Structure 1
């Protein structure tokens, strides 16, 4: 399970400003962001491939709808007003850690999460994703351009080794 860190709190802070009927967190981890969503959304779902994370979240909040799946692959007809994700975003190094390393350039997992969520967004839906200055932003931007998605930086946080940003993606 991914332990809450500055990126988690940054995403939770930004997600708290949104409202609607349905919200989804891809890669729920500790559930900290989903709990922030529960304050302003009628229905909150979370996914993770880690059963321990889902069990931990179930113990903390019985009102979350939790699904063990990769990204958002288990959802078909539900349309979400907001999808959030704090995917592994660092480029791979010699010691790959699936909780933080998002592929060779650091954006492969982010792209997979966004692809999975796109069909689930409501007409005016948005997706919030954490990105790192250490990842290949040009590869992510090329993907977003290909999918005709608009990217807006909502908030940034400078850490001693990188700059994190919450970006909003919309059609």
Structure 2
């Protein structure tokens, strides 16, 4: 007798993992331009592992993280080194040459929030920056001296507010890629420690 229960359970898990979309493609394409085979790379919020896999293809040493255990399993199954983590918490200071992050950025009123992993992968809270701001407050710590952060944000999250928060955390921000879509503009920000 064929037992489909494990396959059904896996499908339910995959329904709770963010799959690559336009934002993932833009971040992967942009980040590949920054990564060399000698780099130590961190992808925060890896979801299915799409961006981390693209970066690992350069020969770099890549670590992928996600807070969602099902995403961690999916990325591990894709052959990635994975740490279940909230943002950059478990990592030592000055470790990574490149950090890439496609955060949850959709502005979501509290009454429309759901308590599941897919919601966590999409919802950025009321202003779209509920995850972006804590990331910006902590990411500089894990950067190597000449490290760079590539952060994907949306016009829905107020790109200028993100740049201001980055500056408050000692990071210079500049737009290095963008794509326009019907309801938003996706932007990749390059963030580097402010040396002034």
When the two structures are superposed, what TM-score results if normalisation uses the length of structure 1?
0.92
Q: Contact 1:82/1:126 (CA < 8 Å) preserved in 2?
A: yes
CA displacement at 1:78 relative to structure 2: 5.6
* Higher Cα radius of gyration: 2
Root-mean-square deviation (CA, aligned residues, Å) is 1.5
Q: Which of the residues 130, 133, 154 maps onto 1:132?
A: 154
Which structure 2 residue ranges, 5 or more long, are not aligned? 1-16, 114-118
Q: Which residue of 2 aligns with 1:87?
A: 103
Instruction: Kindly report which structure 2 residues correspond to 1:19-34, keeping only aligned pairs within 5 A, or say none.
Output: 19=36, 20-34=38-52
Q: Give the structure with the higher percent helix.
A: 2
Q: Which of the residues 118, 129, 135 maps onto 1:107?
A: 129
CA displacement at 1:77 relative to structure 2: 4.4
Higher alpha-carbon deviation: 87-96 or 150-159: 87-96
1:157 aligns with 2:176: no
Moved over 4 A (4+): none
Instruction: Kindly report which structure 2 residues correspond to 1:61-76, keeping only aligned pairs within 5 A, or say none.
Output: 61=79, 64-76=80-92
Q: Which residue of 2 aligns with 1:117?
A: 139
Tell me the distance in 2 between the aligned counterparts of 1:165 and 1:143.
Answer: 16
Q: Give the structure with the higher percent strand.
A: 1
Q: Contact 2:94/2:141 (CA < 8 Å) preserved in 1?
A: no
Which structure 1 residue ranges, 5 or more long, are not aligned? none
CA displacement at 1:153 relative to structure 2: 0.7
Q: Contact 1:107/1:139 (CA < 8 Å) preserved in 2?
A: no
Tell me the distance in 2 between the aligned counterparts of 1:151 and 1:158.
Answer: 20
Question: Alignment length, in residue pairs?
Answer: 169
Q: Contact 2:148/2:190 (CA < 8 Å) preserved in 1?
A: yes
1:57-104: CA deviations, max 9, x gaps?
Answer: 11111xx22111111111124610000000011111342222211122
